[in-house]
């Protein structure tokens, strides 16, 4: 039995297991809201994945452990029951008597199921056309009474959904590799490609049915799945329409994609194509005309808003904007934010900057322009204290130096790289008052 426990822990990823049972949505940092009902504080995602040893830990309610521990706690079962449940739900093919290790041959399984697709009306009932069903090589498992959805033409990954129950399973990571984005082949950087991003494969197929391309993120980690799919591709040819589910999770995923697209300067629009329904497939089931109308509207919206990168705005939009006034440190010269002063060697950059700092920390004029009084910190990385002292005395001409002007000779990192060394923000909070 001990071997079986180890095998289950090795073959299943803790993230897949938590997602499967609790439908929790993980963010980019592999954190999610704690799904345990006795966890009180639900404001921030407190449950983290510890990738190295494939375990989880909630910093709120202090629950932690392996895939087996999670199922025991979440389902309220004992260790053997938990393993049997995982074996069943993830098709691990474990034999409790012989302990045989049977790897799932995903491709063979999906191909077999593809032959039996006519034995279910599951997809027809959900509004998919026979041509769509054939194109996406959907299948049916007669024994399990479940439909199979391959992720791509290579048939090396798939999702299996039970027809009569609201549950599904995905192949164990150790057998099939990490879950890719659904319909990755839609991303082709040769044309001026426009791609819808939805949450589930069936929604992607619903959109593709009407002359459009769509990918599905299939649960958490969508941004990193997409990032992987975009590797080596020319993203300036691509455009994305974010049409995630109409719920809190969908909104969270949307935010994550917006941050990513902005950072990568990839064109996008956010467009709800589901109307009042939860997702595009729900709308398709109600009215295919409405879905088509929304798809066309979304495409038009993309091309009217995004002729270039996502941050492109018309002159009219800009003139109509209510903007905050510029905050000047030195009037008409240095606004708050980042300014870079460049100049030839020995031209006087250090003198200039120390003079600037003296003026701002005193609230005095600089180059005849009014300044706004603030504390200053000069990182004189090439100087030392004696050089600073000589120069300050020359500039101050006998006046007292301001107490809110600081000089340091080393730099502090933005991130916590060393527990004994403060980050820049920690250093500021501690020292610059
Ligand atoms: Zn918790």
Ligand 1 centroid to Cα of residue 369, in Å, is 56
* Residue 198 included in any domain: yes
Residue-wise pLDDT tens digits, 213-232: 999 998 888 999 999 999 88
Q: Where is pLDDT greater, at 171 or 253?
A: 253
* Residue 318 included in any domain: no
What pLDDT is attached to residue 3?
Answer: 81
- Tell me the pLDDT of the chain averaged across its residues: 88
Residue-wise pLDDT tens digits, 335-368: 998 899 999 999 999 999 999 999 999 999 999 9
Ligand 1 centroid to Cα of residue 32, in Å, is 10
* Mean local confidence (pLDDT), 155-167: 88
* Mean local confidence (pLDDT), 370-383: 92
What pLDDT is attached to residue 183?
Answer: 94
* Mean local confidence (pLDDT), 393-407: 93
What pLDDT is attached to residue 291?
Answer: 96
Ligand 1 centroid to Cα of residue 59, in Å, is 6
Query: Are the C-beta atoms of 66 and 54 separated by less than 8 Å?
Result: yes
Alpha-carbon span 353 to 190, nearest angstrom: 49
Ligand 1 centroid to Cα of residue 172, in Å, is 25
Ligand 1 centroid to Cα of residue 62, in Å, is 6
* Mean local confidence (pLDDT), 159-182: 84
| pLDDT > 80? residue 432 | no
What pLDDT is attached to residue 314?
Answer: 73
Ligand 1 centroid to Cα of residue 18, in Å, is 13
* Residue 309 included in any domain: no
* Mean local confidence (pLDDT), 392-403: 93
Alpha-carbon span 347 to 374, nearest angstrom: 26
What burial letters (b/e) apply to 85-100, b meaning 16+ CB within 10 Å? bbbebbbbebeeeeee
Alpha-carbon span 198 to 209, nearest angstrom: 14
Residue-wise pLDDT tens digits, 8-23: 999 999 999 999 998 8
What pLDDT is attached to residue 236?
Answer: 79
0.85 surpassed by pTM: no
| pLDDT > 80? residue 164 | yes
Ligand 1 centroid to Cα of residue 57, in Å, is 8
Ligand 1 centroid to Cα of residue 115, in Å, is 44
Tokens of 355: 């003079």
Burial class (CB in 10 A: 0-12, 13-18, 19+), 111: middle
| pLDDT > 80? residue 317 | no
Ligand 1 centroid to Cα of residue 87, in Å, is 25
Ligand 1 centroid to Cα of residue 368, in Å, is 59
* Residue 347 included in any domain: yes
Q: Report the number of distinct structural domains present in the chain.
A: 4
Ligand 1 centroid to Cα of residue 219, in Å, is 20
Alpha-carbon span 333 to 360, nearest angstrom: 12
Boundary of a domain, candidates 127, 156, 176: 176
Which residues keep their CB under 5 angstroms from ion ligand 1?
A: 34, 39, 58, 60-61
Ligand 1 centroid to Cα of residue 68, in Å, is 17
Residue-wise pLDDT tens digits, 55-104: 999 988 889 999 999 999 998 888 888 999 999 899 888 876 654 456 67
* Residue 370 included in any domain: yes
User: Between β-strands 267-270 and 328-330, what pairing exists: parallel, antiparallel or unpaired?
Assistant: unpaired
Ligand 1 centroid to Cα of residue 61, in Å, is 4
Ligand 1 centroid to Cα of residue 44, in Å, is 10
Boundary of a domain, candidates 226, 247, 268: 268
Ligand 1 centroid to Cα of residue 426, in Å, is 29
In this structure, how many other beta carbons lie within 10 angstroms of the beta carbon of residue 384?
9
| pLDDT > 50? residue 310 | no
| pLDDT > 80? residue 42 | no
Of 354, 284, 363, 296, nearest to 329 by C-alpha is: 363
Q: Name the band, by pLDDT with cuts 50, 70 and 90, for residue 189.
A: low
Query: Are the C-beta atoms of 109 and 99 separated by less than 8 Å?
Result: no
What pLDDT is attached to residue 281?
Answer: 96
CATH label of the domain that carries residue 6: 3.90.580.10
- Residue 257, C-beta contacts closer than 8 angstroms, at least 6 positions apart: 197, 222, 223, 226, 240, 242, 244, 268
Ligand 1 centroid to Cα of residue 250, in Å, is 22
Residue-wise pLDDT tens digits, 238-267: 899 999 999 989 999 999 999 999 888 888
Alpha-carbon span 181 to 7, nearest angstrom: 27
What pLDDT is attached to residue 77?
Answer: 85
Ligand 1 centroid to Cα of residue 290, in Å, is 41
Question: Do 380 and 343 sit in the same domain of this protein?
Answer: yes
Tokens of 374: 């603030």
CATH label of the domain that carries residue 264: 3.40.1360
Ligand 1 centroid to Cα of residue 176, in Å, is 30
* Mean local confidence (pLDDT), 273-290: 95
Boundary of a domain, candidates 268, 283, 314: 268
What pLDDT is attached to residue 99?
Answer: 47
* Mean local confidence (pLDDT), 263-280: 92
| pLDDT > 80? residue 401 | yes
3-state secondary structure the chain: CHHHHHHHHHHCCHHHHHHHHHCCCCCCCCEECCCCCCCCCCCCCCEEEECCCCEEEECCCCCEECHHHHHHHHHCCCHHHHHHHHHHHCCCCCCCCCCCCCCCCHHHHHHHHHHCHHHCCHHHHCCCCHHHHHHCCCEEECCCCEEEEECCCCCCCEEEEECCCCCEECCCHHHHCCCCCECHHHCCCCCCEEEEEECCHHHHHHHHCCCCEEEECCCCCHHHHHHHHHCCCCHHHEEEEECCCCCHHHHHHHHHHHHHHHHHCCEEEECCCCCCCCCHHHHHHHCHHHHHHHHHHHHHHHHHHCCCCCCCCCHHHHHCCCCCCCCEEECCCEECCCCCCCCCCCCCHHHHHHHHHHHHHHCCCECCECECCCCEEEECCCCCHHHHHHHHHHHHCCCCCCCCEEEECCCCCCCCCCCCCCCHHHHHHHHCC
In percent, the amount of the chain with pLDDT more than 70 equals: 94
Ligand 1 centroid to Cα of residue 77, in Å, is 18
Question: Taking CA 220 as the corner, what is the angle to CA 218 and CA 223, rounded to the nearest 5 degrees?
Answer: 90
* Mean local confidence (pLDDT), 390-415: 90
Question: Do 118 and 80 sit in the same domain of this protein?
Answer: no
* Residue 240 included in any domain: yes
Ligand 1 centroid to Cα of residue 58, in Å, is 5
Ligand 1 centroid to Cα of residue 15, in Å, is 15
Cα separations in angstroms, 403 against 298, 357, 375, 395:
58, 12, 9, 15
**Which residues constitute the domain of residue 237?**
184-268
* Residue 134 included in any domain: yes
Ligand 1 centroid to Cα of residue 35, in Å, is 7
Q: Name the band, by pLDDT with cuts 50, 70 and 90, for residue 37.
A: confident
* Mean local confidence (pLDDT), 380-396: 92
Alpha-carbon span 430 to 433, nearest angstrom: 8
Ligand 1 centroid to Cα of residue 23, in Å, is 15
Question: Do 166 and 85 sit in the same domain of this protein?
Answer: no
Question: Do 372 and 340 sit in the same domain of this protein?
Answer: yes
Query: Are the C-beta atoms of 126 and 286 separated by less than 8 Å?
Result: no
Question: Do 352 and 414 sit in the same domain of this protein?
Answer: yes
What pLDDT is attached to residue 178?
Answer: 84
Given strand 31-32, what is the order of strands in its sheet? 31-32, 47-50, 55-58, 64-65
* Residue 17 included in any domain: yes
Question: Do 194 and 164 sit in the same domain of this protein?
Answer: no
Q: Where is pLDDT greater, at 203 or 317?
A: 203
Ligand 1 centroid to Cα of residue 41, in Å, is 8
| pLDDT > 70? residue 433 | no
Ligand 1 centroid to Cα of residue 151, in Å, is 33
Ligand 1 centroid to Cα of residue 71, in Å, is 14
């Amino acid at each position: 039995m001990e071997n079986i426990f180890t095998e289950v822990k090795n073959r299943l990823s803790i993230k897949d297991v938590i997602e499967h049972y609790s439908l929790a949505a993980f963010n980019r940092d592999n954190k999610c809201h704690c799904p345990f009902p006795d966890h009180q504080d639900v404001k921030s995602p407190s449950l983290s994945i510890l990738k190295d040893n494939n375990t989880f830990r909630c910093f709120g309610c202090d629950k932690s452990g392996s895939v087996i521990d999670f199922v025991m706690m979440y389902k309220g079962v004992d260790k053997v029951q938990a393993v049997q449940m995982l074996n069943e739900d993830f098709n691990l093919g474990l034999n409790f008597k012989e302990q045989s290790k049977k790897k799932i041959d995903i491709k063979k399984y999906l191909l077999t199921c593809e032959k039996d697709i006519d034995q279910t009306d599951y997809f027809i009932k959900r509004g998919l056309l026979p041509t769509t069903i054939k194109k996406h090589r959907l299948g049916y498992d007669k024994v399990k009474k479940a439909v199979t959805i391959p992720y791509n033409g290579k048939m090396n990954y798939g999702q299996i959904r039970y027809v009569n129950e609201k549950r599904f399973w995905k192949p164990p990571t150790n057998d099939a590799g990490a879950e890719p984005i659904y319909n990755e082949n839609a991303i082709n950087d040769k044309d001026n490609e426009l791609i819808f991003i939805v949450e589930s494969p069936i929604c992607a197929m619903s959109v593709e049915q009407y002359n459009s391309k769509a990918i599905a993120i299939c649960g958490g980690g969508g941004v990193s799945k997409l990032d992987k799919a975009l590797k080596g591709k020319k993203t300036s040819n691509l455009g994305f329409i974010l049409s995630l589910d109409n719920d809190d999770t969908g909104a969270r995923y949307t935010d994550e994609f917006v941050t990513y697209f902005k950072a990568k300067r990839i064109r996008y629009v956010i467009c709800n194509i589901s109307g009042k329904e939860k997702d595009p497939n729900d709308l398709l089931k109600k009215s295919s005309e409405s879905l088509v109308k929304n798809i066309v509207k979304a495409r038009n919206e993309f091309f009217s808003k995004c002729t270039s990168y996502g941050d492109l705005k018309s002159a009219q939009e800009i003139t109509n904007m209510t903007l905050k006034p510029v905050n000047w440190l030195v009037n008409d010269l240095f606004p708050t934010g980042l300014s870079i002063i460049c100049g030839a060697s020995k031209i006087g950059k250090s003198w200039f900057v120390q003079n600037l700092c003296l003026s701002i920390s005193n609230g005095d004029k600089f180059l005849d322009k009014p300044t706004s009084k603030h504390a200053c910190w000069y990182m004189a990385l090439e100087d030392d204290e004696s050089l600073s002292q000589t120069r300050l005395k020359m500039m101050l001409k006998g006046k007292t130096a301001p107490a809110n002007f600081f000089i340091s000779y080393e730099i502090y990192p933005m991130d916590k790289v060393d527990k004994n060394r403060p980050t820049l923000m920690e250093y500021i909070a501690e020292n610059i008052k």
